């Protein structure tokens, strides 16, 4: 039925993502300088962790998907422009998200919002946008699951 066979690949995506993410987490943790962390430091670390999650997920998916390619390109561009810039961009993005959510009109309007959400969605037609959204949702849920379990493990120990 569904030519997009996610079930056999999601496990491998999951494992790949897990490995990469854990490695990134380790690296980030090693960068901790002192135990009492300032909020700024925490914020920065949060951003790094988030970035690591995105990068590891995108690279786990590889170049097969347009959204992963777009995400990697965006990240590389963000790295070039500086990490602080990403913070402001993120804030702006959040604000824009709030504003745009009230403007959803119909299918086309919703599709526009969806394009903003899914990385690389602006350059797609609706049909492939839905495809990418499907895969993106799957990967996001996988990501959430893995991170939850990691967090639980960390919290527990």
Nearer to another protein, 30 or 64 (CB): 30
CB of 120 to another protein, least distance (A): 14
Size (the chain), residues: 157
Residue 146 is a binding residue for another protein (CB under 8 A):
yes
- Distance (Å, rounded) from C-alpha 34 to C-alpha 9? 40
Total number of residues that touch another protein (CB under 8 A)? 73
Asked if residues 8 and 137 have their Cβ atoms less than 8 Å apart, the reply is: no
Site for another protein in 19-38 (CB under 8 A): 19, 22, 25-26, 28-30, 32, 35, 37-38
Residue 53 is a binding residue for another protein (CB under 8 A):
yes
Residue 48 is a binding residue for another protein (CB under 8 A):
yes
Nearer to another protein, 122 or 152 (CB): 152
Nearer to another protein, 2 or 80 (CB): 2
Q: For tokens 């009109």, what's the residue?
A: 105
Asked if residues 57 and 96 have their Cβ atoms less than 8 Å apart, the reply is: no
Asked if residues 58 and 71 have their Cβ atoms less than 8 Å apart, the reply is: yes
Nearer to another protein, 25 or 61 (CB): 25
What single string gives the DSSP state of each residue in 9-55?
HHHHHHHHHHHHHHHHHHHHHHT---SS--HHHHHHHHHHHHHHHHH
Stretch that binds another protein, among 46-54, 58-66, 75-83 (CB under 8 A): 46-54
Site for another protein in 70-129 (CB under 8 A): 90-91, 94-95, 97-98, 101, 104, 106-107, 110-111, 113-114, 117-118, 126-127
- Distance (Å, rounded) from C-alpha 111 to C-alpha 125? 9
């Amino acid at each position: 039925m569904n030519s997009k066979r996610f079930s056999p690949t999601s496990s491998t995506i999951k494992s790949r993502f897990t490995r990469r993410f854990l490695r990134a987490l380790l690296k980030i943790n090693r960068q901790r300088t002192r135990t009492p962390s300032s909020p700024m430091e925490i914020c920065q670390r949060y951003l790094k962790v988030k970035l690591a999650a995105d990068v590891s997920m995108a690279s786990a998916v590889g170049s097969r998907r347009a959204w992963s390619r777009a995400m990697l390109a965006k990240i590389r561009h963000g790295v070039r422009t500086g990490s602080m810039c990403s913070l402001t961009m993120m804030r702006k993005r959040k604000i824009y998200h709030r504003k745009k959510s009230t403007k959803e009109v119909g299918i086309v309007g919703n599709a526009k919002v969806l394009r903003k959400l899914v990385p690389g969605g602006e350059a797609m037609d609706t049909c492939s946008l839905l495809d990418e959204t499907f895969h993106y949702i799957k990967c996001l849920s996988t990501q959430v699951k893995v991170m939850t379990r990691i967090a639980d493990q960390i919290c527990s120990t």
